[in-house]
Amino acid sequence: MTETRKRVLLARPRGYCAGVDRAVQTVEEALKLYGAPVYVRKQIVHNKHVVSTLEARGAIFVEENEEVPEGSIVVFSAHGVAPEVHEQAKARNLKAIDATCPLVTKVHHEAKRYAAEDYDILLIGHEGHEEVIGTAGEAPAHIQLVDGPDGVDKVTVRDPEKVVWLSQTTLSVDETMETVARLKTRLPLLQSPPSDDICYATQNRQHVVKEIAPSCDVVIVVGSTNSSNSVRLVEVALDAGARAGHLVDYASEIRDEWLEGATTVGVSSGASVPEDLVMEVLAHLAERGFGEVTEYTTAEERLTFSLPQELRRDMKAAAARG
């Protein structure tokens, strides 16, 4: 009897997006330029491994500006902050470097613009997520959170003709569209943002997982539990037909029973996951007979973002001084 062929379908794109790459590089360059310690408000990106690696290099992660000694350097995370956080930093004489992803900044600008035009803004997102707190802080009097389709019934607006929806950048595309569809049954004149708020990287990673999931007995997503886009990838895999899905930070967390009876394993990673963690997962699977790897590509990503201007200015000045 021939043994069933075991294989891995490796999703691409996966891992670091341009915003995460920029944020991590911001902390690395700040440490090189200013020396340790460099303080970082919240996790720079939602990944356990990245945070511990940067801590080992001299980054100190704090929850709030109050924990940063006066006059020190503080980096704001990729998820964005409310305007009051910038004001608190000024009050404490902190040198703030804003590593907010430009795609999150775009949503902040939309929120400010619609608030200035006196719209009610329905922000689709997860309660308590840093990105949502930052965006809502731009116009708290105008913004109400809609946490998924079930949050639609709680919505109240002043004028059904002046209402717009915006969204957190890392949501499930399908669930967001379901929430919007439900909102439109209640508010037929609901306006959409001028361009898609869910970021290109989130959409690309979900799309490729959706393509491979129906062929997979199990999909393993490398990512941390507080990473919204990583958690969504597991949900997308299950919704698209994978028979099982699991989220792991490290290869060592993969349980042998997950692989029992499996012939095809899908592998992807969230947008804040370094590629070496994925390689470790592939090595772990190869040791268990899943040595054949086919990379399944649905998009090429070439977008890059330049470093925050505060940091670039200081790097340029340091280079000029030699």
Half-sphere exposure (CA, 13 Å, Cβ side) for 210?
13
Nearest to 277 by CA among 53, 15, 8, 27: 15
Q: For residue 17, say whether it is annotated as part of any ligand binding site.
A: yes
224 known member of a binding site: no
Q: Is 310 a known active-site residue?
A: no
Q: Is 126 annotated as a binding residue?
A: no
Q: Is 216 annotated as a binding residue?
A: no
Relative to beta strand 218-222, strand 264-269 is parallel
Residue with tokens 């379908």: 9
* DSSP-assigned letters across all residues of 65-106: GGGSPTT-EEEE-TT---HHHHHHHHHTT-EEEE---HHHHH
**14 with 268: CB under 8 angstroms?**
yes
Instruction: Report whether 86 belongs to an annotated binding site.
Output: no
H/E run at residue 218: strand 218-222
Closest of 255, 231, 124 to residue 178, by C-alpha: 124
Helix axis angle for 48-56 and 18-34, nearest 10°, is 10
DSSP letter assigned to residue 6: P
Which of 131, 138, 161, 301 does the annotation list as catalytic? 131
Number of other CB atoms surrounding residue 212 within 10 Å: 25
Alpha-carbon distance of 26 to 20, in angstroms, equals 10
Cα separation, 118 vs 159, in Å, equals 10
Check whether 109 is labelled as a binding-site residue. Answer: no
Tell me: is residue 272 an annotated ligand-binding position: yes
Residue 320 corresponds to which tokens in the numbers above? 């000029």
Binding residues: 17, 46, 79, 101, 129, 169, 199, 227-229, 272
Binding residues for [4Fe-4S] cluster: 17, 101, 199
Active site residues: 131
Binding residues for isopentenyl diphosphate: 46, 79, 129, 227-229, 272
Binding residues for dimethylallyl diphosphate: 46, 79, 129, 227-229, 272
